[in-house]
Structure 1
Amino acid sequence: MYPFTLQELQCFDAVVREGGFQGAALIVNRSHAAVFAAVAKLEDNLEVALLDRSGYRVTLTDAGRSFHRKAQSLISEMETLKLHARQLAMGEETHLRVVIGDTCPLNDGLELLSGFFASCPNTRLDLHFETIGGPRERLVDDEADLILHWVEKTDARLEWIDLGKVSFVPVVAPDFLPFPLSGTITPERMRDLTQCIIRDTARTVQQTNYYVVEGAPQCTVGDHLMKKEIILRGMAWGHLPRFMIEEDLRSGRLLSIAGKHFPGVDIDLVAARRRDRSHGPVATRLWEHIQTCAPDFGGDMR
């Protein structure tokens, strides 16, 4: 068995896809005779009949069908490598790493990104979902090119685009509280009741207390959707973004306990990136796209 070439594989693949040598010749921009010779040489080198030429249209033999599946993977990898090389030559990024944080309305965040990446088919979106301190940590540790979350705006390493405010409201299900609902409920009265909190995906967890009542029993979940379900079922209480529970508050399925001791919190949602890092052309266009869309962002938050 002798080595075969990528060109022979491409000719073979074109014959399979077109069902004949004439159509394949047009696809690979070679003569009919050249394609025929390339496939014949491939079969001779492999010592395997790949095509059945007895009918009006050539078809795959069983061996040819098995070989073609493997060949398609190799051809696809080669095309990907060629594209990668072209992007490198143009200075364009082959992928961008974006993190959506738990404070970002998911539908709005995905719409913002999909609208951009639809026009950049050659740059892969490497998308992750992180919570609490996770998005900022990924950005600071150079594991993300952009995040949709909140940041410490005093951090000189970062620049941001304001996308709007997200209000977090402390809520309970009806009949969850063993005492009357009022705006003067204290942390001490809530200490015996289970509080649902979001698991922080940061590897180095900050000591900041994110609305947690010290000493209270806890139920820990991975995202706000699970948190909302647990609170709706009367299994715990906790803070949820208003954009997620507006209808539940209106209908009475959830009750706010916001007041003097639990005022709720407003967070600045931003798109953020490193100020002290260079950004490629696709990342720059994404930043400009977000700046353009920012005034209309957050339909779910209004």
Structure 2
Amino acid sequence: MAKPTLDQWRMFKAVVEHGGFAGASAAVFKSQSTVHHAVQKLEAALQIKLLEVKGRKAFLTESGKLILRRAEFLIEEANKIESVANTLSEGVESTLKIAVDEVFPQPILYQALAKTSELYPLLKIDLIESVLTGANELLNNAVVDLAISSVPIYGISCSKLTDVEFIAVAHKNHPLNKYEEQLSFRDLKQHRQIVVRDSATHTNQDEGWLGADMRWTVSHLRNSIDMVSQNLGYAWLPFDQVAHLINDDTLKVLNLEQGITRPLNLYLMCNDVDRLGPAAQEFKDQLTAIIAAE
């Protein structure tokens, strides 16, 4: 007896997803009789009943439910293999799409992009700045090829890149810098904090200690830096992005009892490393090498 084919599995899955043979026929661009015959051959090969037809609707049997779960994994893996093959056959990708958390050190990012572009001068770079889980959402929705985020996604290719040190700062003339004693969190609650909003559309998470009663929430890290520099509040900011403002005495590090600094780990992620094109692989390697040499 002939073994089930991948096309038969796909047609079976389409029948389930579209509730019947008519909908499946339109979805897979096959005649209704072809889809019906494929499911019959599948059932004959497996010697079990997968579907029960009631009127124009098709319903999974208990055995069908179990088989479908396994079939979905098989189809997903087959799609990945086909995608990898397409990438290899097409050669270098025309566009590299990357989501990067705004706290990632920009000199490292720009250096990796420049080195990648030297090897692939016709490559288009689509860089999307994000905050917190914004990069994760873009990766999950297949909007980008790579994501740099502080929130790791488990079950995919995910490796730690580096960590960024955040430091509590305020303008040199801010009232918090007039205290003679070390500042407690109770002291901080009496003043406005600037925090950065998560750029993902389906979450409601902000960046920073959220104990402040007075709080301004902004969408970009640069807005937070500007506001703190104009003495509009205090914030925890990446040290490497405000070091020059501390050095020229625009900002001062808050003298806290605890938590003056805190590290934030950053991760490089992609859904499937085997599906990355050569330019994406090169960028990934360049980024890792530059950080290792730091």
Give the alignment of 1:110-149 within 5 angstroms: 110-149=110-149
Pairing partner for 2:203 from 202, 205, 218: 205
> Paired residue for 2:84?
none
Give the alignment of 1:1-302 within 5 angstroms: 89-152=89-152, 155-162=154-161, 164-177=162-175, 180-181=178-179, 184-207=182-205, 210-214=207-211, 216-257=213-254, 259-275=256-272, 278-296=275-293
Q: Deviations over 1:46-102 (max 9, x none)?
A: xxxxxxxxxxxxxxxxxxxxxxxxxxxxxxxxxxxxxxxxx8853432222111211
My pick for the range that moved more, 210-219 or 165-174, is 210-219
Amino acid at match of 2:142: D
Instruction: Measure the CA separation in 1 of the matches of 2:192 and 2:96.
Output: 40
Instruction: Measure the CA separation in 2 of the matches of 1:242 and 1:221.
Output: 19
Q: Deviations over 1:3-62 (max 9, x none)?
A: xxxxxxxxxxxxxxxxxxxxxxxxxxxxxxxxxxxxxxxxxxxxxxxxxxxxxxxxxxxx
1:275 CA displacement: 4.4
Length-normalised TM-score, structure 2:
0.62
Does the 8 A contact of 1:172 with 1:254 survive in 2?
yes
1:103 CA displacement: 1.1
Instruction: Measure the CA separation in 2 of the matches of 1:275 and 1:183.
Output: 52
The 3-state SS of whatever aligns with 2:213 is: coil
The 3-state SS of whatever aligns with 1:196 is: strand
1:274 CA displacement: 2.6
1:167 CA displacement: 0.6
The 3-state SS of whatever aligns with 2:275 is: coil
Instruction: Measure the CA separation in 2 of the matches of 1:248 and 1:121.
Output: 36
Structure 2 unaligned segments of length 5 or more: list them: 1-86
Instruction: Measure the CA separation in 2 of the matches of 1:270 and 1:277.
Output: 18
Amino acid at match of 1:295: A
Instruction: Measure the CA separation in 2 of the matches of 1:143 and 1:182.
Output: 50
Alpha carbons of structure 1 residues 182 and 246: separation in structure 2 relative to 1, 3 Å: farther
1:171 CA displacement: 0.7
1:169 CA displacement: 0.5
Number of equivalences: 209
The 3-state SS of whatever aligns with 2:217 is: strand
1:277 CA displacement: 6.3
The 3-state SS of whatever aligns with 1:118 is: helix
> Paired residue for 1:18?
none
Does the 8 A contact of 2:196 with 2:208 survive in 1?
no
Amino acid at match of 2:264: I
Does the 8 A contact of 1:170 with 1:256 survive in 2?
yes
User: How well do the aligned residues superpose, as a CA RMSD in angstroms?
Assistant: 2.8
Structure 1 unaligned segments of length 5 or more: list them: 1-86, 298-302
Amino acid at match of 1:114: A
The ranges of structure 1 where at least 4 consecutive aligned residues each deviate by more than 4 angstroms after the TM superposition are none
Does the 8 A contact of 2:166 with 2:263 survive in 1?
yes
1:202 CA displacement: 0.7
1:235 CA displacement: 0.9
Length-normalised TM-score, structure 1:
0.60
Does the 8 A contact of 1:133 with 1:206 survive in 2?
no
Alpha carbons of structure 1 residues 275 and 182: separation in structure 2 relative to 1, 3 Å: farther
